[in-house]
Chain A
Amino acid sequence: MAEDAESRWLMQAGNDTAKDDALQVQGLTLRYNDVLALDGATARFPTGSMTAIIGPNGAGKSTFLKSVLGLVEAEGTVKAFGGPVATAMPRIAYVPQRAAVDWSFPVRVIDVVLMGCYRKTGLLGRIDRRMAAHAMAALARVGMQDFARRQIGALSGGQQQRVFLARALAQGADLFLLDEPFAGVDAATESAIITVLKSLRDSGATIIAVHHDLTTVAAYFDRVLLMNRRTLAEGPVAETFTRAALAQAYGPALMLDPTGSSAA
């Protein structure tokens, strides 16, 4: 929509005030029985930025994404594009962790991608040729167009991850939330995914990814949210991804030099 494009351009023009944020999270708190999974996590994600969410195991990173989307119910305020998340949902895409998917399901690659077009086809809507072409184009962007008719379980882990990114692309979103997109994937997939994500970012989309590999943070992302149930630090990689902040999150035993990580 022209209106969307215009507002996106306006947001990109100045990137510093809160109203330019694609996503704002205030005091997100979630309690499982007596365990605090999230303890007032607060963060902002400027439009057109690419943020890595990092933190130790059990820090609530996946829960953070799901709570932001309202897929699990948490206390706190979340605003997407200045309004409630439910309203902005058509503009948000979510790529789940690979482990969360039933790979034996009888579904072909193209069918998975077409699921991302569901808002356009509607409840009883037919999938016409234009929709199928749209889905194929999304597959081509991740280099999987030759696998369209394969059963999803017959693919490698990396290929499956690319298909799920294609499903998110087909949706036509401009805010992408990804849960460990690089976990257990081959090098070819990792570079294919990061290329797509960077090109999305360059065209104005906002990328947020839970990330585990600290050595690639500086090469892949421009912002970091360091969390352990609550926000420990957030901001541009250069300022936030520091030895002191990492020691606070992971404990002093972590011997990683963040300044040397940009080589990756």
Chain B
Amino acid sequence: MIWQALLLQGGYNSVLVSLGAALLGAAAGAAGAFLTLRRRSLMSDAMAHATLPGIGLAFLAMVALGGDGRFLPGLMLGAALTAAAGLWAVQRLARQMHEDAATGAVLASFYGAGIVLLTLIQGLGTGRPAGLETVLLGSTAGMLRADALVIGFGGLAVSCALWALRRPLAMVAFDPLHARMMGVNPRRMDAALMALVLAVVLVGLNVTGLILIVALLVTPAVTARLWSTTVTGTATLSALIGAACGYVGAAISASVPDLPTGPVIVLLAAGVFALTLLLRGHRDG
């Protein structure tokens, strides 16, 4: 069953899902490379956890309007709104405290609010909330064709945007003052990077889930760092690792009942990282 899924013989839908997960993994790997170089990894974790209340609110809003509470684009819109609010809150709080403290505070509060909302929704018994909790850990089992297409094209779009912006992004990460002198606006580049990471988080909701997306953003990136001495090389390799983990993880999860996708993908990425550490040892460079 797993081999069938891996070798693109698991039926049209599961092939589509695996390819979608691969493109998501590539986008996450590439975005994560720039994110870790800019030292903003944890920001993505706060952003991901801050999607949860938005998902709950979007579900309630769609049910109230008489629609399907699990309509994915609607959930993503809600998720994007509260994630952006969370990001704004981190940046606002970071003026009064260190950024890591601000990140932790926002992450926990938004996630807590989301869990409360989700629990309330389960108690309501309307709008078919069953399965809504897959946004936490991801599940590709029984994913709709349309969802797989959204994930695949979303991942592809993010990867293309990162490729186009790789030079200014690298300059801002390496030496923001010099970047400014070269006519690059670091604030605008950071905003663009955050928007792309947010896109990865949203697209990844159904694949890795919001709790573990940070691992798919960070693990391939730090693995690639150990092999490459250039930014483009790091981002490309990170994207390849992410794509492979996404592809294999989605295939495994689709063929083993009740196995959530996120943890499988993340374990695969951790395996590649551990193997790299064994082969390359610790490098300062």
Chain A bound to chain B: yes
How many residues of B are counted as interface, with CB atoms below 8 angstroms from the partner's CB atoms? Answer: 26
**A102-B174, A106-B37, A107-B174 are known contacts. Are A151 and B183 too (CB-CB below 8 A)?**
no
Whether the pair B175, A111 counts as a contact (CB closer than 8 A) is no
Interface string of A99-111 (1 = CB under 8 A from B): 0111011111001
Whether the pair A107, B230 counts as a contact (CB closer than 8 A) is yes
| B177 adjacent to chain A (CB < 8 Å) | yes
State A105–B225 Cα separation when bound (angstroms). Answer: 9
Residues of B within 8 A of A121 (CB): 167
| A22 adjacent to chain B (CB < 8 Å) | no
Whether the pair A118, B167 counts as a contact (CB closer than 8 A) is yes
Whether the pair A115, B285 counts as a contact (CB closer than 8 A) is no
| A182 adjacent to chain B (CB < 8 Å) | no
- Which stretch in A88-96, A132-140, A203-211 binds the other chain? A88-96
Interface string of A108-146 (1 = CB under 8 A from B): 100110011011010110000000000000000000000
State A151–B184 Cα separation when bound (angstroms). Answer: 24
**A94-B177, A151-B285 are known contacts. Are A119 and B183 too (CB-CB below 8 A)?**
yes
Residues of B within 8 A of A153 (CB): 284-285
Residues of A within 8 A of B191 (CB): none
Interface residues of A in 30-89 (CB under 8 A from B): 66, 69, 71, 89
| A154 adjacent to chain B (CB < 8 Å) | yes
Residues of A within 8 A of B177 (CB): 66, 71, 94, 96, 100
Whether the pair B183, A89 counts as a contact (CB closer than 8 A) is yes
State A121–B168 Cα separation when bound (angstroms). Answer: 11
State A69–B181 Cα separation when bound (angstroms). Answer: 8
Whether the pair B181, A115 counts as a contact (CB closer than 8 A) is no
Write the chain A residue with the least CB distance to B174. A105
Which of the residues A100, A101, A106, A118 comes within 8 Å of B230, measured between beta carbons?
A106
Residues of B within 8 A of A171 (CB): 182
Looking at B173, B229, B233, the one whose CB has the most chain A CB atoms below 10 A away is B229
Residues of A within 8 A of B170 (CB): 107, 111, 115
Interface string of B47-58 (1 = CB under 8 A from A): 000000000000
Q: DSSP class of A's interface residues: helix, strand, loop or mixed?
A: mixed
Which of the residues A101, A108, A119, A124 comes within 8 Å of B182, measured between beta carbons?
A119
Write the chain A residue with the least CB distance to B163. A124
Residues of B within 8 A of A167 (CB): 178
Write the chain B residue with the least CB distance to A127. B167
| B231 adjacent to chain A (CB < 8 Å) | yes
Interface residues of B in 101-143 (CB under 8 A from A): none
Whether the pair B233, A106 counts as a contact (CB closer than 8 A) is yes
Whether the pair A118, B229 counts as a contact (CB closer than 8 A) is no
Whether the pair B175, A101 counts as a contact (CB closer than 8 A) is yes
State A20–B231 Cα separation when bound (angstroms). Answer: 42
State A101–B230 Cα separation when bound (angstroms). Answer: 16
Whether the pair A108, B178 counts as a contact (CB closer than 8 A) is no
Whether the pair B37, A111 counts as a contact (CB closer than 8 A) is no
| B276 adjacent to chain A (CB < 8 Å) | no
In the assembled complex, the CB of A132 is this many whole angstroms from the nearest CB of chain B, namely 14
Residues of B within 8 A of A93 (CB): 181
A-B contacts besides A107-B229, A151-B229, 5 pairs, CB < 8 Å: A94-B181, A101-B175, A104-B285, A106-B229, A107-B170
| Pairs across A and B, CB under 8 Å, 6 listed | A89-B181, A94-B177, A94-B178, A106-B37, A112-B174, A124-B164
